[in-house]
Chains A and B, each alone.
Chain A
Amino acid sequence: MTDFLTVLLIFMLVSAVAAIHMRSLLSAVIALGALGFASALSFLALGAPDVAIPQVLVDVVTLVILIRATLGRDVKTTSGLRDTSGIALSVALLILFGIFAIQAARHLPPLGHAGMHAEANKPVSLPPGADFDPAAPSHFYIEKGPEVTGSANTVTAVLLDFRGYDTLGEATVLFTALVGAVVLLRKRSRSVPSLPSGAGAPSSPGEGGAAS
């Protein structure tokens, strides 16, 4: 399992670097697609078909949207990096971040023994008939989930019953993003002939003074 994941991850890293450094936007988007499919594949391998299916679908949608944004534009290539001094600082911070993150990750339990599978998070004892003691809630989801919710798929049980409130939030996020996108791409934004924007526009000193 570890080997398979490692190979996939290296592939993902390569496509990530490619997506960032390719000059053509379209190739970059396609590299991102490769990354997404690799990650869906690793979800399948990790026993998460419930995540893999939406991941593939979301990838397709993301690709369609991103390709729509890149096709037919005058400039297809990127013009490189930002100014170098800022880059140097951020790379330094990034290396610092990497060191600390890897340090922290080394203190995670090993693969297959994290989260609910960690020794410390196992339920203490389960005397028959006693209340379930969820040291980690996932034990409850797996052992009691199907009975108490009637959903054999415990992921769905978590999503829609135990933590349905999160899913309401998720649907709301999608709604928000959609309303936001529709608002941003509307034809006219102001109903009075455009107020002069005071901030950075030196060309508009006080015209339309008595707009009320």
Chain B
Amino acid sequence: MVYCLIILLFAVGLYGVVSQRNVIKVVISLVIMEHALNLLLVVLGYGKGGAAPIRVPGESPAALASRAVDPFPQAMVLTAIVIGLGVTVLMVAIALRLYQRYGTYDIAEMRRLRG
């Protein structure tokens, strides 16, 4: 159920990317896709105890292992978040420049390139 909803979220983002004409909307849709992926990774790392994988003072390794979630997907998601942010910043910069050249955010009105 949770997985299906996350995939639906990803699909909504994908739909936005292919269907929207507004450059900013396309960027927003890409961000939605990233959110879905990040959430999927963290959900896959969830374990029974549901505690953050941080050893508190005086705790034994086995005790932590029995209650903690998987730290590895979290590390990957952190990296993925930063990568997503980088892509967003760059695409907004391109969008600002496009606006300056064309006076619009509408892709359909930017048709300098042939097919």
Contacts and interface: CB of A to CB of B under 8 A. Distances in A.
Interface string B40-56: 00111111111111111
Given A46-B69, A101-B7, A117-B70, A79 B22 contact: yes
Nearest to A145: B71
A19 B27 CA distance: 11
Interface secondary structure of A, over-half rule: helix
Interface string B70-89: 11111111110111111111
13 contacts: A16-B16, A36-B35, A48-B45, A48-B77, A54-B82, A66-B27, A69-B95, A73-B105, A111-B43, A155-B53, A177-B86, A178-B89, A185-B96
Given A20-B12, A139-B65, A178-B89, A62 B46 contact: no
A155 B20 contact: no
B32 A32 contact: yes
A184 B81 contact: no
A210 interface: no
Closest 4 CB pairs of A and B: A177-B86, A181-B93, A105-B3, A158-B75
Interface in A139-160: 139, 141-147, 152-155, 157-159
Interface in B25-39: 25, 27-29, 31-32, 35, 38-39
B59 to A, nearest CB: 9
Contact of A146 (B55, B62, B87, B94): B55
Contact of B55 (A81, A97, A111, A152): A152
Q: Which of A17, A32, A61, A138 has the most CB of B within 10 A?
A: A138
Contacts of B32: 16, 19-20, 32, 35
B106 A75 contact: yes
